Structure 1
């Protein structure tokens, strides 16, 4: 291995560490950062960027879920329902997404981020108190799993971006519990998405593996910080991060 390749490997490990930290902080696996970065900085087409980001996301999401469960264990019944419904849906949608035109998939991805950014900003407006925690209904959990799995299959991300605000806003769950259930959705479904994208030759393993290794060392630190921040602060930071990413991707694409 040459000096240049060692330097390149080190930069990829550091990049993965940064993405892993943010992924642990927000419970999203880092894909919302990694995919635009791969499109913009590495010149990948949208499907390849999504598949490669999944290499980073899968271990980060598993570690993040484990750490959240240690602090805020959730009932295994809704966790299992949301995991199974999301994983099955992800496999079906990902098989279709890998055959889409890259430019069409890219426009859909940018639009999805923009809509999620607007929703998160709307949700964090004003100073209303957070809703009290409520019991989860299995019907809504399964439907949320299908919706999140569709997003994971199509974009390689979004299950957590969709599930966490719905769980915390509409279904009355605390933010940390919502993120734990969101991770129960995205951890197995991301593995299914990675398998499907890999089968379609839409994964750059040479880049994805160093990013994944770097992220595994920092995701726990991000999770630990998440539990020291006020819940409303978490929501505001999450919304601003999502909006910045959507604007960055939109401006560079156009």
Structure 2
């Protein structure tokens, strides 16, 4: 129906703007929205969110590399390593009990919220000696696990590791994290689609809406103080996790 397509476009536009503002591609916001508003089970929501998220992270990767150039070889190394763990993790997710998967996702959100809430303390205790570059593929493997299990979160997990472990600048770390997300998202999208856990009629209009606003969200992110963004993000994660835990009961 035309009104349903318009609703999906507007929803994708809103999620794309928020995803650009918070630097998360919109997927981690789309999943609970799809569960709560459309009554989807966790696996179907994750697969549908991937349809919207994949083009958003492609655009984000391109824009980050424009502003903060980094070697494509390094990005490719991390991205290819993520495929090793993304596929088996996605296969595990699509076969998992929907209620259990939702509970795991909610716990994951709470852990992310705790990290962002206490990031200032973590910065003071960060590793001083950078880890060797040979260990960079491990970042891809770790991120791939989250991409496969939850379809989101790989970049959020990878960026702090790259900053605190490998001494990368925040902007470079976020760009490299998106390089990890892109191949992982494509593999996870194929896995969820093959298992029939995607609502394409909803996901595609959401993707179009997200593409139209993600750059606008990124522009606003550069105007607001980073500390305020982290607090907003942490509060959003906590609220989302609580709602999903209540639904999983």
Structures share fold, TM-score greater than 0.5 = yes
1:117-136 maps to which residues of 2 (within 5 A)?
117-125=113-121
Choose 50-59 or 110-119, whichever is displaced more: 110-119
- TM-score scaled by length of structure 2: 0.90
CA-to-partner distance for each residue in 1:197-246, whole Å, 9 max, x for gaps? 10111111011011001000001111222233444444333333323322
Q: Report the number of matched residues.
A: 249
* TM-superposition CA deviations, 1:9-40 (whole Å, max 9, x none): 11110110011111122222111110011111
**Is it true that 1:48 corresponds to 2:31 in the alignment?**
no
1:159 alignment counterpart? 154
Encode CA deviations 1:89-111: one digit per residue, 9 max, x unaligned.
21221122211111121111111
Check the 8 A contact 2:130/2:165 in 1, yes or no: no
Partner in structure 1 of residue 166 of structure 2 = 171
Q: How does 1:176-195 map to 2 (within 5 A)?
A: 176-195=171-190
Question: 1:146-180, CA deviations, whole angstroms, 9 ceiling, x for partnerless residues?
Answer: 11100100111110121122223443333222211
Compare 186-195 and 97-106 and name the one that shifted more: 97-106
Query: Among 65, 70, 80, which residue is 1:84 paired with?
Result: 80
Bigger mean CA deviation after superposition, 15-24 or 75-84: 75-84
Cα RMSD over matched residues?
2.3
What are the residue-to-residue correspondences of 1:66-105 with 2, within 5 Å?
Answer: 66-105=62-101
CA distance in 1, matches of 2:125, 2:232: 16
> Structure 1: any 5+ residue segments left out of the alignment?
none
Which of residues 131, 135, 139 is equivalent to 2:134? 139
> Which residue number in structure 1 is paired with residue 214 of structure 2?
219
Q: Secondary structure at the match of 2:197?
A: coil
| Separation (CA, whole Å) in 1 of partners of 2:113 and 2:82 | 22
Contact 1:110/1:250 (8 A) holds in 2: yes
Q: For residue 40 of structure 2, give the secondary structure of its aligned residue in structure 1.
A: coil
> Mean Cα displacement is larger for which, 54-63 or 179-188?
179-188
Provide structure 2 residue ranges, at least 5 long, that are not aligned to the other structure: none
Separation in 2 of the partners of 1:37 and 1:153? 19
Distance 1:16 1:39, change over 3 A: same
Aligned partners of 1:169 and 1:247: how far apart in 2?
A: 29
CA distance in 2 between counterparts of 1:177 and 1:237 reads 23
* Counterpart pick for 2:233 among 238, 245, 253: 238
Where 1:242 maps in the other structure, the secondary structure is helix
Deviation readout 1:98-149 (Å, 9 max, x if unpaired): 11111121111111111111122121359x6797998663333211111110
1:238/1:130 CA distance change after superposition, 3 Å: farther
Which residue number in structure 1 is paired with residue 243 of structure 2? Answer: 248
